[in-house]
């Protein structure tokens, strides 16, 4: 190795030592070890350069691990204030495994489901979760307990951040009791909830639930005088998507799993008496300035419908690309719909029938008045 290259490597090793606050001797030892490892692996070209990169990468991994450990350990629970506006509903992973297996049997038959390792020879549905929360599942491909439920739920709201500014955000739970208990949560009512702050930016917040007995994430109503509409208007003033640009929004953000869309409009029609097979109600939301601009909003059964045609609404949700059959019975892309997570009637027109809510078997109360 020429002196110039040797000097450059020395500078790099000193930089690694300085950035990571470790002795230079430690870094030099690791460098020599990497050289030996690479030589044994048959590396002959750019050996020294690759060894330096290997040492840098080792320290990078070490820092990332330490940061992750810190995040896991820091489980401080704080009381969050705000009001709830939306709900994704309960997602039961165990129940989904059962549904997938049953559908597969109906479509392909018993033997095919056995070969696909969805059921065993006795027809028992198998646990197809290879990992549970990142860890290997010891009961993988064993019969799934028929009484097992693995529920999770994500709800949305406007919360006061640590800087005392209103921010749109989510709170998520993997606690079966809370997932069911949150069915009682009231929307657009000032409240507080003990929660763990996972992430906070200038505009949004991500929270997770606490399952500790003394800080259980149960929402509690607060007698606060909050102008709900004013808070939403101020936050969304530069975030509204025009109805004519919903498809454009979807194309731009379709790869973002946490994309949120905010739209407002007038209810042109609502199929309250024509729910889909999974209980979803479809609604046409019209631009109040142009009747030719309309988007279909899908309302899940856990979202209350306390409005009717000609109501003016704010809709919070996410976009979904639909599929339709063309004239040749081929499945092609259809219009982009909005899957609602929350609806705020600003000028409601009354309904004559009740809501389409269905409550789970609640084991704990998720809301206190």
What's residue 257's pLDDT?
A: 75
**3-state SS, residue 231:** helix
pTM of the shown model = 0.71
Tokens representing residue 246 in the block: 């919903």
Are 79-89+152-229 and 240-347 in the same CATH fold?
yes
Quote the distance between the C-alpha of residue 232 and its chain's center.
21
pLDDT for the residue numbered 71: 36
Q: Is 233 exposed, middle or buried (0-12, 13-18, 19+ CB in 10 A)?
A: middle
pLDDT for res 66: 53
Place of tokens 């731009």: 252
Domain residue limits, the chain: 3-73, 79-89+152-229, 92-136, 240-347
Topology of the domain comprising 79-89+152-229: OB fold (Dihydrolipoamide Acetyltransferase, E2P) (2.40.50)
* Nearest residue to 313 via CA among 288, 279, 289, 337: 288
Whether 200 contacts 171, CB under 8 Å: no
The superfamily CATH assigns to domain 240-347 is Nucleic acid-binding proteins (2.40.50.140)
Q: Where are the alpha helices (DSSP H) in the chain?
A: 3-20, 24-40, 47-73, 93-108, 110-115, 176-181, 228-236, 246-253
- Residue 21, Ramachandran bin (φ over 0: left; ψ between -120 and 50: alpha; else beta): left
State residue 367's pLDDT score.
83
**47 sits in which H/E element:** helix 47-73
123 in the Ramachandran plot: left (φ > 0), alpha (ψ -120 to 50) or beta? left
Stretches where the chain sits below pLDDT 70 are 1-4, 63-75, 351-363
Three-class SS of residue 111? helix
């Amino acid at each position: 190795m020429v002196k110039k290259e040797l000097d450059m490597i020395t500078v790099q090793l000193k930089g690694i030592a300085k950035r990571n606050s470790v002795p230079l001797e430690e870094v030099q030892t690791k460098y020599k070890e990497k050289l030996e490892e690479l030589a044994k692996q048959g590396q002959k070209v750019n050996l020294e350069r690759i060894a330096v990169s290997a040492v840098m990468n080792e320290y990078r991994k070490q820092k990332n691990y330490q940061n992750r450990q810190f995040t896991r350990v820091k489980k401080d629970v704080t009381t969050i204030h705000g009001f709830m506006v939306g709900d994704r509903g309960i997602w039961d992973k165990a129940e989904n495994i059962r549904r997938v297996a049953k559908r597969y049997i109906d479509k392909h038959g018993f033997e095919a489901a056995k070969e696909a390792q969805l059921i065993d020879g006795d027809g028992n549905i198998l646990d197809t979760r290879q990992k549970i929360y990142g860890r290997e599942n010891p009961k993988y491909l064993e019969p799934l307990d028929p009484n097992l439920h693995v529920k999770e739920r994500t709800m949305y709201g406007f919360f006061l951040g640590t800087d005392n500014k209103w921010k749109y955000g989510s709170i998520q739970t993997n606690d079966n009791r809370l997932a069911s208990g949150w069915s009682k949560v009231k929307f657009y009512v000032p409240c507080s909830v003990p929660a763990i702050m996972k992430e906070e930016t200038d505009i949004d917040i991500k929270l997770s639930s606490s399952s500790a007995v003394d800080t259980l994430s149960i929402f509690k109503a607060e007698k606060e005088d909050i102008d709900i509409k004013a808070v939403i208007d101020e936050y969304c003033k530069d975030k509204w998507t025009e109805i004519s640009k919903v498809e454009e929004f979807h194309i731009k953000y379709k790869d973002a799993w946490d994309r949120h869309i905010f739209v407002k409009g007038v209810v042109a029609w609502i199929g309250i008496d024509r729910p889909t097979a999974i209980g979803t109600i479809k609604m046409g939301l019209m631009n109040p300035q142009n009747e030719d601009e309309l988007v279909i909003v899908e309302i899940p059964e856990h979202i209350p419908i306390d409005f009717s045609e000609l109501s003016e609404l704010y809709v919070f949700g996410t976009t979904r690309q639909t599929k339709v059959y063309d004239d040749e019975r081929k499945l092609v892309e259809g219009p982009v719909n909005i899957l609602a997570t929350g609806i705020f009637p600003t000028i409601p027109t009354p309904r004559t029938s009740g809501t389409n809510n269905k409550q789970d078997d609640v084991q704990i109360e998720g809301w206190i008045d």
